[in-house]
Amino acid sequence: MAVKNSTSAHAKRSRKKAAASSSLIPKFMKNPKTTMALALLIIDSLLVSFIIAYVPYTKIDWDAYMSQVSGFLGGERDYKNLKGDTGPLVYPAGFLYVYSAIQYVTGGQVFPAQILFGILYIINLGIVLLIYVKTDVLPWWALILLCLSKRVHSIFVLRLFNDCTMVILSVAFSPSKKEKKRSGSNFASFFMCSAAVSIKMNVLLYAPSLFILMLKAMSISGVISALAGAALVQIVLGLPFLLSFPIEYISRAFNLGRIFIHFWSVNFKFVPEPIFVSKEFALSLLIAHLVLLVLFAHYKWCKHEGGLFKFLRSRISFCSITSCSAWPKTLKKEHIVTTMFVGNFIGIICARSLHYQFYSWYFYSLPHLLWITAFPTLLRVLIFVGVELCWNVFPSNLYSSLLLLCLHLLIVCGLWYSMAENP
């Protein structure tokens, strides 16, 4: 009898061990999204290697960046004197630190830089795929859309335009695996976004959405602390320039009124140049941007809280009569990603000028934006392909820029009329 019980117990232990060892692989591989994501990472890594090896590099801003970095490393702290062959430096201090590190790693040479940027591309793609795997929006087969952009591949490894800004953002947006950890990670996300702003200011397009999400997920005191921490990040990173030439640094690194060259505009090439460079046109776009943000915040993002203004009043009154630390609320992954992506996209369509490198600011959000609309799948794919084609017309013209604007507006209309709300 004892032998029988011993044998039975041993058999149970063996079955448990076998189940434990085998449960990981099926759980991992049964999700078609995970399998697809891994396959895409491998295939795209090979594609990037092929592009670097056989497609000629296009010289645009790399030499200018290296000249600006060399001036900084040489001791120059006056922003008006940090220049390259394409013009003066217009990015905050974080840009100089990042590209100083890139120059150190690559020696300022193009080929090593292409390898580094190829690695950044794959890292960024991996994090984006992780976001899509964790959010239940995109079907598994549609993940391939994230790897089909000729322009995005070119931006990263042929023109060396992009840097770790979008990588930092992707990490900041990646949904936390455990709900209980998400509230605490809001601080880290805010600091990472601030660090990304210190590299390139396009990250500010995410700020309104992020602010609303933090009001939902954190206490008022927590939001204030996060804002103070984000400001501190900017001060610390810009300290060498703020202590020496503060006016020059602030006016050049954070110039929100900069006028872009009409020739390079991808989105508003159909607008006559005198109107394109006018203050009235810039003001109109700013008003449109603010109106769209308020409308989406009121009717979509804060719908379950009774609208934007009721939500803000309730947060202020709640904080005034109770402990400010008693509010934290858990938000769904889909709601976080959707709010951030939509807020950024609104900024994109209202931007006075989109240059070719700016496509990377929102390309990876397009599949998510299209699949939260009620558009039929064929129309979603056609819109995606249409946007990609517009970005591959060089130089842009009246027809390509007008089509791009129409496709952007179509996406916004689809989001407005059919976007599911996930509080």
What type of residue is 59? Answer: K
CA gap 263, 30 in Å, rounded? 50
CA angle 269/275/278 to nearest 5° reads 120
Is 140 exposed, middle or buried, given 0-12, 13-18 or 19+ CB atoms closer than 10 A? Answer: middle
DSSP secondary-structure letter at 263? G
Q: Taking Cα atoms as reference points, which of 411, 409, 413, 393 lies closest to residue 401?
A: 393
Statement: residue 320 has pLDDT above 60:
no
Report d(CA 149, CA 398) in Å as an integer: 22
In degrees, to the nearest 5, what angle opens at C-alpha 66 toward C-alphas 60 and 72? 140
Residue 12 in tokens: 């149970």
Query: What does the pLDDT average to over 311-330?
Result: 61
Query: Does residue 415 register a pLDDT over 70?
Result: yes
pLDDT band at 32 (very low <50, low <70, confident <90, very high): confident
- The torsion of the CA quartet 235, 161, 208, 384, rounded to 10 degrees, works out to -170
pLDDT tens per residue across span 106-126: 999 999 999 999 998 999 899
pLDDT band at 384 (very low <50, low <70, confident <90, very high): very high
At 249, give phi and psi (nearest 5°): -65, -50
Q: How confident is the model at residue 200 (pLDDT cuts 50, 70, 90)?
A: confident
What are the domain boundaries of the chain?
Answer: 28-174+195-417
Contacts of 161 (CB under 8 A, 6+ apart): 60, 61, 155, 356, 357, 360
Residue 398 CA to its chain's centroid (Å)? 28
The model carries a pTM of 0.86
Q: Is the peptide bond before 274 cis (omega within 30 degrees of 0)?
A: no
Return the top range by mean pLDDT from 192-206, 214-228, 338-352, 406-420: 338-352
Say how far apart CA 291 and CA 294 lie, in whole Å: 5
What residues pair up with 83 in beta bridges, in sequence order? 88
Residue 185: predicted pLDDT: 52
Measure the CA–CA gap between 159 and 155, rounded to whole angstroms: 5
Q: What is the pLDDT of residue 423?
A: 43
Q: What is the dihedral of CA 316, 322, 325, 329, to 10 degrees?
A: -70
Q: What is the pLDDT of residue 247?
A: 92
**Rounded distance, CA 214 to CA 183, Å?**
9
Long-range pairs, 35-43, Cβ under 8 A, ≥24: 35/140, 36/140, 36/141, 36/143, 36/144, 37/126, 37/129, 37/130, 37/132, 37/133, 37/143, 40/125, 40/129, 40/143, 40/144, 40/146, 40/147, 41/122, 41/125, 41/126, 41/129, 43/147
Given this model, what pLDDT does residue 27 score?
53
How many other C-beta atoms lie within 10 A of the C-beta of residue 78?
Answer: 13
Q: Nearest Cα to 363, choosing from 156, 98, 118, 213?
A: 156
Element holding 83 (H helix, E strand): strand 83-84
Residue 83 has pLDDT above 90, yes or no: no
Residue range 229-256: average pLDDT?
Answer: 89
Q: What is residue 380's predicted lDDT score, i.e. its pLDDT?
A: 96
pLDDT of the residue at 181: 44
Pick the more confident residue, 423 or 296. Answer: 296
User: Strand locations in 187-341, DSSP E?
Assistant: none
Reply yes or no on whether the pLDDT at 175 is more than 70: no
Provide CB contacts within 8 A for 156, sequence distance 6+: 48, 117, 118, 120, 121, 162, 360
